[in-house]
Amino acid sequence: MRKILEVKDLVTRFYTFDGVVHALSGVSFDLYKGETLGIVGESGSGKSVTMMSLLHLLPSPPAKIENGQALYYGDADDKPDTNNKPDADNKPIDLLKLNKSGIRKIRGGKIGFIFQDALSALNPVMTIGRQIGETLIEHLGMSVQQAKTRTIEMLEYVGIPEPQRRFSSYPHQFSGGMRQRTMIALAIACNPKIIIADEPTTALDVTVQAQIIELVQRLKKEMNMSVIWITHDLGVVAGMADRVVVMYAGAPVEIAPVDELYYNPGHPYTIKLLGALPKIGEKESLRLESIDGTPPDLLSPPAHCQFAWRCSHVQEKCWKIVPEQKEISSGHYAACLFDFADKTPIPPLM
Amino acid sequence: MKTETATNQIIGKTESKNLVTVKNLKKYFPFSKGFFLNRKRGAVKAVDDVSFNIRRGETLGVVGESGCGKSTTGRAILHLERPTSGKVIIDGVDLTQLNPEELRQMRPQIQMIFQDSYASLNPRHSIGHIIAEPMMIHKNMQQDAMRSRVMELLELVGLNPNHYNRFPHEFSGGQRQRINIARALSLNPKFVVCDEPISALDVSIQAQVINLFQDLQKELNLTYLFIAHDLSMVQHISNRVAVMYLGKVMELTTRDNLFNTPLHPYTQALMSAIPIPDPVKERQRTRIFLNEDVPSPANPPQGCVFSTRCPIAEPICSQRAPEYKAIEPDHFVVCHKVDKKRGEI
């Protein structure tokens, strides 16, 4: 599989009156063509900040991207003659180095973004039709009439009933699920290569959530897109992702194919997180494994493993260095000093 | 005088199996239209004819999508909203018959924990004050006794008793929820309504709070009404579960029945939509998709309220409302078609 996005060592900090918030401390991951990458983590772990950094959506100040690269390889497809050559020959675009007009071409055009709260992401005083049409005119240079036809097509495509009539509705006239469908129509209108969905179903009910997940999965296949799905729900990720990145305190602690992550987790945090979930269909109520303590304060993150406070495998060396990502099996990375070389199963946690 | 009879009722009543009995509970919010006449034009039927019992020491889970009336049910039981009609009997006392003063005297026994742990704590009071306040109001206690009781409660919910003088903003979300729990427990209630107490918390913190709820229940013999939209958590903590839709209970049964053999088509759809944190199981599942959106509770569909979205609806469903019937002991379903389907299972 071919890489479409490669994020290397991304560091983002917020300069606030209280001090420097180390929101991201070295985030690296790859996104391959046609895959769904799930990003899970608790609130404050840096899931959203990562994506917003890539697309220059963070207000600056206070945010500052201090280091890192985000290489976008998507344009290789547009030039058929370069298709056979290795990645190095197609000049990737570093999203972080783009200027304002450069990133505008990517945002909405090449990379679509679905936000969590559709009501505040959509413009309340603009009809649905105009909002979607605007992107088409801006990115694809369509005429107003072309944009209208295409918008109605898009609305129908994402399953909004009576698209002709809905074209001139306002966001408040839609239900939560329909608004999220509109957001999706907006994100995919320009045939993007990547869709970034930032907790798109968190505010929705489970039955609507199932519909939205189904829709995104279908669109992904039909339009041959890559999807980054940010969520805190490990259940959602299990069903739809190909690979999963688990984030904790501003850095990925584990990156693994989905089955590997759930059945053979490599980082103590992931193990505990999976244990903290109630099991559907369990015979009797077993006690949930809880993770004691709270995530570290990112105003003054410790200069050692961020999880050491809460980890039950903690060893002396964990208090001295920040662990780097190690490949523990093919395609499975974990940032932990725990010795994965011996294949003995990790003892049950206290 | 009336107060005495109420108290006598409490003492005189022999311990029955059910702590809470809710009968035909209704809560309508009327709305009016027009500027001058302000005529009543209708009512949002937030809770419409809900009946159930809660046994001593058990946890009854209430699940449903947003707007189905699960929170209003909880609030109406505790009379935070006066029910439009119906009966709420808690430990032999019918709350709907009490006057405000009598109701106030019942309050120590019935407590509530709210979803937003920050909004439900006064930011200008120290947590010692917050937890002691119910005791100041309902009990005539010495300062020292109160202080030691607060310390005891803090210890009970897993907080450091020395944090007595700190303020709510100094605590994290999970800790604030613990403060709420301590306050609710300060008067030794029998019955606690938990209104989505964990939905604002992170997964790892949720597990801590859920474990605390279960420990306290065992230790203090509490009875919970646990309202949530997270079905897997409800399944974990509840003995029995009520599934609500548009202000009505659709199915009420034990948690094993509900998750293994759900009978109502709405429950089945809801169950099939829960994401399971297990990739292989998740791939093998078939989901039941419900079309359309939830109708407005101001204008619910004729007949069965679920008929507009039901995958197996028949003409009768939109004509006559189905009755609340027991399919087997401890398994109540409101559906015309369940008897037929029962044969297939």
Alpha carbon distance B317, B304 (integer Å): 5
Computed from CA positions of residues A50, A48, A209, A272, in that sequence, does the dihedral angle turn out positive or negative? positive
B167, B174, B159: which is closest to B122 by C-alpha? B167
Helix, strand, or coil (residue B147): helix
Nearest-Cα residue of chain B relative to residue A297: B172
> Which one of B172, B206, B231 has the shortest CB-CB distance to A206?
B231
Alpha carbon distance A301, B38 (integer Å): 59
Distance from CA of B238 to the nearest CA of A (A): 9
Alpha carbon distance A54, A24 (integer Å): 12
Average pLDDT over residues B157-170: 89
- Given pLDDT bands bounded at 50, 70 and 90, which one contains residue B344? very low
Q: Are B65 and B232 in contact (CB under 8 A)?
A: no
- Given pLDDT bands bounded at 50, 70 and 90, which one contains residue B6? very low
pLDDT attached to residue A126: 92
Q: How many CB atoms lie within 10 A of CB A44?
A: 20
- Given pLDDT bands bounded at 50, 70 and 90, which one contains residue B125? very high
- Per domain, the residue ranges of chain B are 2-32+41-263
Q: Which residue has the tokens 């419900």?
A: B290
> Which one of A210, A277, A278 has the shortest CB-CB distance to B289?
A210
> Which one of A211, A280, A289 has the shortest CB-CB distance to B235?
A280
pLDDT attached to residue A350: 41
User: Does B278 contact A at CB distance below 8 Å?
Assistant: yes
pLDDT attached to residue B5: 46
Residues 294-323 (B) with a CB less than 8 A from some CB of A: none
The answer on pLDDT for B66 being more than 50 is: yes
Helix, strand, or coil (residue B11): helix
Q: What percent of chain B has pLDDT over 90?
A: 35
Q: Are B304 and B317 in contact (CB under 8 A)?
A: yes
From residue B53, alpha-carbon distances to B77, B168, B248 in Å are 12, 36, 15
pLDDT attached to residue A313: 78
Nearest-Cα residue of chain A relative to residue B172: A294
Q: Which residue has the tokens 């798109």?
A: A200
The predicted-structure confidence for B91-123, as pLDDT tens digits, reads as follows 888 999 999 999 999 899 999 999 888 899 999
> What are the residue ranges in chain A where pLDDT is below 70?
75-90, 281-285, 339-350
Average pLDDT over residues B173-202: 90
User: Does B339 contact A at CB distance below 8 Å?
Assistant: no
The answer on pLDDT for B138 being more than 50 is: yes
Phi and psi angles of residue B42, each rounded to the nearest 5 degrees, phi first: 160, -170
Q: Which of A259, A294, A306 to mutate to test the interface with B (most CBs of B within 10 A)?
A: A294
The predicted-structure confidence for A303-333, as pLDDT tens digits, reads as follows 888 888 888 878 888 888 888 888 888 888 8
pLDDT attached to residue A36: 93
Q: Which residue has the tokens 């009539």?
A: A165
CB contacts of A281 in chain B (<8 Å) are 259-260
User: Does A287 contact B at CB distance below 8 Å?
Assistant: yes
Per-residue HEC secondary structure of chain A comes to CCEEEEEEEEEEEEEECCEEEEEEEEEEEEEECCCEEEEECCCCCCHHHHHHHHCCCCCCCCEEEEEEEEEECHHHHHCHHHCCCCHHHCCCEEHHHCCHHHHHHHECCCEEEECCCHHHHCCCCCCHHHHHHHHHHHHHCCCHHHHHHHHHHHHHHCCCCCHHHHCCCCHHHCCHHHHHHHHHHHHHCCCCCEEEEECCCCCCCHHHHHHHHHHHHHHHHHHCCEEEEEECCHHHHHHHCCEEEEEECCEEEEEEEHHHHHHCCCCHHHHHHHHCCCCCCCCCCCCCCCCCCCCCCCCCCCCCCCCHHHCCCCCHHHHCCCCCCEEEECCEEECCCCCCCCCCCCCCCC
pLDDT attached to residue A90: 61
Alpha carbon distance B247, B76 (integer Å): 12
Q: How far is CA B299 from the centre of its chain?
A: 24
User: Does B274 contact A at CB distance below 8 Å?
Assistant: yes
Contacts for A155 with CB less than 8 Å, ≥ 6 apart: A128, A132, A163, A166, A167, A182, A185
pLDDT attached to residue B233: 86
CB contacts of B240 in chain A (<8 Å) are none
Contact B203 A232 (CB under 8 A): yes
The residue ranges of DSSP E strands in chain B, in sequence order, are 18-33, 39-55, 59-63, 85-90, 93-94, 110-113, 191-195, 223-227, 240-245, 248-254, 324-328, 331-334
Report the alpha-carbon angle A193-A197-A202, nearest 5. Answer: 165
Distance from CA of A291 to the nearest CA of B (A): 6
- Given pLDDT bands bounded at 50, 70 and 90, which one contains residue B86? very high
In eight-state DSSP terms, residue B291 is P
Phi and psi angles of residue B325, each rounded to the nearest 5 degrees, phi first: -130, 150
B277, B274, B235, B286: which is closest to B258 by C-alpha? B235
In eight-state DSSP terms, residue B45 is E
The predicted-structure confidence for B242-293, as pLDDT tens digits, reads as follows 999 998 999 999 988 888 888 899 998 888 888 888 888 888 888 888 877 7
Alpha carbon distance A302, A318 (integer Å): 11
Indicate the average pLDDT of chain B: 85
Alpha carbon distance A123, A132 (integer Å): 11
Alpha carbon distance B192, B110 (integer Å): 6
Helix, strand, or coil (residue B341): helix
Alpha carbon distance A84, B54 (integer Å): 68
Average pLDDT over residues B222-233: 89
B2-32+41-263 CATH fold = Rossmann fold (3.40.50)
